[in-house]
Structure formats: structure tokens, C-alpha cells
Structure 1
Amino acid sequence: MTGTDHRQGEPMASDDTALRILSTGDVAGIDIALPDVVSVVEQAYRTLAEGRSANPRKLTVTPEDGHSVAYAMLGRDGERNVVAVKTSYKYGLHEDRDKQHYYTTLTLYDDVTGLPVAMMDCGRVGALRTPAVSALLARELAAPGSRSALVIGTGTQGRLALPFLLTTLPRLDRLMLFGTHPEGIRAARAQLRAHFPDRELEIVSDLRAAAGQADIVLATAGPRTPASVPAEWLRPAALSVLVGYGIAPSTLHRADRVIATSAAQMRVTGTDMADETGELRAVDAEFPDVLAGRAAGRTDLGQRIFAYNSGLVVTDIALGHRFAQLALAQGLGTVVPLWR
């Protein structure tokens, strides 16, 4: 490896003929603390709000029968001076989860040296980035004094949702989970025990009662979930955060205030939340501007707020770059003479 990280002084980029490949196993072996993830993601949002990063609208393709979906995302992190391309492909959307195929990669380039940094499986990056964003949304938008949270779904995002929420809101003392997959419930319980062994998880079956008692409702379920929390189930001043599925379109259309990580991406990926006329509720503010203090989050203590977490590629770039730093420090990965 011939390049250096201009910010950290660590070897980063390869020569101009080779690319370091970080496999699923390589990335899985990297130890990173939840507060570190939150810090990296928050910095990525702030840099974007300052106009120093670029996050163009994602491209999407899907066949007529909807059996697969593919995304391509290009971006630039102005803090780290890194350019990257992320691709995502999911096949078998009409099948059970264990029959689906999902592949996602992130390729990073150093925009100071002009050399490639790494190409990696992006599964773990996304699995950490998304709940970190939800936790930041909760920190900024939940009503003061919020003490209870309900997570809907036990897939990849649901399993780490509560540990990340506790990272940004440590005073939460009632942690509820609604799920329909026993193995997912066991995995979510294990993740909470690993990160916060002194906290208890409450598995709920009465979704209406749980939603009415939660200050924060975080919907992370898959498209086949039976859960669909409508606006009238929510308590006054509740924050609902949509990552996947699990809350009804009325939570968006009857909210007092709507915050999105990206209004443009919400228009692309949030069409299932449209009303009977096919329209989406207008976004009141974008989250990077809220974090930077350029837009208000909660403007009244009694507001019900809807937050849309679609994820921005600049957060993948920042966290992927952090993983690349840690991987290189540990000598992980395989250098492939790709352009030789």
C-alpha cells in the first residue's frame, strides 16, 4: 500500500493497479463501539449540511413484477476527501426472508491521492449506519423526558435498534419489541444483552397498547409484516421513525411535523406511504439541517413528529472509510491487482 490517509497518517490507498478487498468475514472481525459509529455518522451529516459533501439522488431499477430491486449511489465525503460508489441488489422480494438474495458493496477512492482505498461488503456498514441514524433522529426529535421506545421488527435493523437508542438516549427505561420471528427476537435480545447487559427487553404482543404507551415508535420490519400502526394509536407528542415497514401512512399524513434524512429520497423510496390520491406529505425539514442548527426539529412539546430514515450514501462513505482504516491497521483484506 503506497498511499497515506491525509487526516490520520495511516496507510490507506493502494497503488494505481491494485484494490484491497474486504470480505464479509474481514468486516465482521472489526471491533467498533456504538458511540464511535454514532459519531462518524453525525459528522457525515454535519459535513453535508455545511455544503462540503455531495449526496446525489440514488438510482433505482426494478422489474415489472417487483421480484427484485437494485440501487446505485454515488457520493463524496468532504471531511475525509473520499469518493465512493455503493451498489445494492435484492432478489426474491416475494419470497420468505431465508430465500432472498441480497448483495451490497462499497468502493472507496481517496480524492487527495487519486488512488483506490478499498472495496468492501457493505452489509455490516448499513446494519450499523441505519440504526445509528434512527438513534440520532430520536435524540434530536423525541419529546423531552421520553422514557419508552417500541421497536417493530426483528430483522437486521431491528436487532440493533435498541442498543443504538440507548447510546443516544440512555434514560430510556422501557424497551419494547414487537416481532413475529422467534430467531429474530432471540437475536435482538442477545444484542441488547451484549451492549447493555443491565437492561431488560419487553416482548409485546398487543401492538396497539404498546404503541399507545411509547414515546418513540421505530418501524424496522420487512414488507410482509402484519404490523401497521395508525396515527390514532400514537400518544400525544410521540415520535415515529420509519426505516422499513410497520407504521401506516396516516402516521405521516397526520403528523404535526415531518422530518426526512432526504426529501428527494423519500419521494423515491417512500411511495408506499402515499395517501389515497398517491401524494406524499410535504417534508418540513431535512435532518442534516436540523443537526446543523439550520432548521428546527421539534418546534412544540406536544407535536407528533414523523421522521423518515432513508439513509444517505455519505454516511456509508464515512463509516466505510472508518472500517477501512481499522481493517488496514489490522492487516485485513486481500490486495487484488485489478488493473494490472
Structure 2
Amino acid sequence: MRAEAPAARLRLLDGPTVAALLEPAAVRAAVAEAFALHSRGEGRTFPVVREQLAEGVFGIKSGAVPAQALLGYKSAGFWPANRGRGGEPHQATIVLHDPATGRPLCVLDGNAITSARTAAAGAIGLQRLARPGSRALCLFGTGVQARAHLAEALRVLPALEQVRYCTHRGQPDAAFESAFAGRCALQFAPDADTAVAASDVVITATPGAGVLFGLGAVRPGTHINAVGADTRGKRELPEGLLARARLVVDDRSQARQLGEAQWAPELPCTEIGALDDAARAPETITVFDLTGLALQDLAVARMVLASAEAQGLGLDIAWPW
């Protein structure tokens, strides 16, 4: 006789609920743990699905941490036509599973988690690789990711004063400037090379449609967080830059397939989870190539789920076997 299945529940967490539970320091801690688990081989990341569709890009990132009973995936992509519909082009959903049974435990809106965990990863890169006392930053992009990365940079770089930003249209973005009014000295930069040359830190957070600045603009000692290249064929950095830099990645194999490292896969690189605390040579150019790990999404989603359960948030529904 078949045993009677135990009662099962499924928690649903929508975007506003998730966003309210994403405390920046806690997100950074979860992402740092994910990087360490990954580099120690204690977390598994499964092959990435990344497919070009007629309407956009669709992908799946999945993984597990057996010792922590963590299993799940994020389906995500980019649908540019959503802007014309009044919606967000980036769409992401995260599902956490019980590894013992395969049953789903929670379905979460993944948009806010994606932005927060990517920006947290960038903040970790800034803390570990940017020169202490960095005062000037050049930001490419003014969208959701760019805003999240700038907000984190302002949190973790206490000496940061001047922010120059570049847009793909070559025009100022009034809404972006309003969002950061009073938080830093923010200035539109009409010439990308001039802005890069005047900066200690560069963050590229664009759709990765092409090279954003010239190789000669990068001064010794500059640190670059490269965010936009996350698919084959995408790039933001100029030819020859990686060969001049110390290259740090979130995942070696994935970066060489999808990130900036795809353009120079033969170059040596270090995973950020394995980065030692050795002093940074002041004249060294450093690049952190962020492609995004499933373990980042899952670690942050687990944190959000625990907070939601503790506070009684979300929609808890029966999910029969």
C-alpha cells in the first residue's frame, strides 16, 4: 500500500515583498558565502541555458549546495519590447526545491534579487580590488543594474566623491540624476575616454552591445567591474585590456564562455571566492568579470525565504503531492 503523502505547502513571494527583504549588508554576506562555497567546490553549478529568441534572450541558471540542503534555479532573460508595454525588460523567477524530495518550496520574483545580488557581487569586487581611497568613479549605463551598482559603490567606497556617467544616447539622464541627488557629485560625461581616464573605478553596466571606451583611456591602478557581458558575443571592454590587467572572475569556465573573458579565454584568471588578501599593487589594473552564479541567486533567495517565513509574509498555499 502506498504511504499517504504528508501535507505540503508552497510559499509565493512577489516583487514588492522580496524587495523589502533585501537588506544590502545581508545580501553581500550571502553572495560572499556563495562565492566561497563555489571556489571550495562545496556548491554545484549546473550547465547554463542561454538562448537567443526572436523576442529576446532566455536563460536558466541552476545549482545546489548539498551540505546546506539548497537546490533550485532561476529562469531569466531580457525582453526589450517590454519597455514599449510599460514593463521591465529584465524578467526573472527563482524556484527553491527540497533536495530530499524534489518538491518546490518557494517561488520568488527574481528581478529584485538579480539586481541586488549582482550589485552585491560588484561591491565585493570593489572592496577586494579597488584601491583604498578611490574617489572618482565612471559609470556606463543608467538603468536598473547601473543604479544598483552605483548605490552599492557609494556604500562600500567611503572616499567616493565624484561620479561621472555615460549613456548610450550620449545625452544626460534627468531621472537618473534625480535618483542620486545629494548622494554624490554626479556629472554627465559626454566623452567616455575622458571620463575613464579621470576615474579610479569604472563600472560597465550596459546590455553589452559593444566596446565602450578606448584602451588608452585606462590609467594604471584603475579597477573595472565589468557587468554587461553575460552572453556569447557580448562585450564592453576594449581589445587588449584583459592582457594588461589582473583578471578576476566569479566562475572561470562561465566567464570564458559568456563574460568578457570569452574574448581572451587563454588568459589566467582568479575566482573571487579564492582571492587571497595579498596587498594590491597600486599600479595594477584589475578587472572583475561578473557573469552571475546560480549560487548567488539561491543563497539570497534562501535568505529572503527565511525572513518571509519569520515575518509571516507572502502567500502560503497548499501544494498537494
Shift of 1:326: 2.0
Aligned-pair distance for 1:155?
A: 1.2
Q: Which runs of 5+ in 2 are unaligned?
A: 1-5, 230-234
C-alpha spacing 1:271/1:173, structure 2 compared with 1 (3 Å): closer
Please give the root-mean-square deviation of Cα atoms over the aligned residues, in Å.
3.1
Matches within 5 A, 1:76-225: 76-77=64-65, 80-92=68-80, 97-98=83-84, 101-111=89-99, 116-180=104-168, 185-189=173-177, 191-192=179-180, 197-223=182-208
Q: Distance in 2 between matches of 1:20 and 1:254?
A: 47
**Equivalent residue runs for 1:301-316 within 5 Å:** 301-316=282-297
Picking from 13, 17, 24, the partner of 1:26 is 17
Counterpart secondary structure, 1:201: strand
Q: After superposition, what is the alpha-carbon deviation per residue over 1:111-140, rounded to whole angstroms, capped at 9, x for unaligned?
A: 479764311110000010111111111111
Give 1:184 shift.
9.4
1:244 aligns with 2:228: yes
Gap change, CA 1:116 and 1:266, over 3 Å in 2 = same
Do the aligned partners of 2:246 and 2:284 also contact (CA within 8 Å) in 1? yes
8 Å CA contact 1:150, 1:211 repeated in 2: yes
Q: Which residue does the alignment assign to 1:260?
A: 249
Aligned match of 1:52: 42
Change (3 A) 1:146 1:78: farther
Cα distance in structure 2, aligned partners of 1:112 and 1:201: 50
Where 2:44 maps in the other structure, the secondary structure is coil
Q: For structure 1, which runs of at least 5 residues remain unmatched after alignment? A: 1-14
Percent sequence identity over matched residues? Answer: 22
In 1: Cα distance, 2:188 partner to 2:103 partner: 49
Deviation string, structure 1 residues 125-184 (Cα, Å, up to 9, x no partner): 001011111111111111343221111101111012122012222122222222257999
Q: TM-score, normalization: structure 2?
A: 0.83
State which drifts further: 51-60 or 95-104: 95-104
1:62 offset after TM fit, Å?
Answer: 2.5
CA distance in 1, matches of 2:17, 2:172: 24
Give the counterpart letter for 1:52 in structure 2.
E
Paired residue secondary structure (1:131): helix
Q: Sort the Cα spacing of 1:17 and 1:96 in 2 relative to 1 into closer, same or farther, 3 A.
A: closer
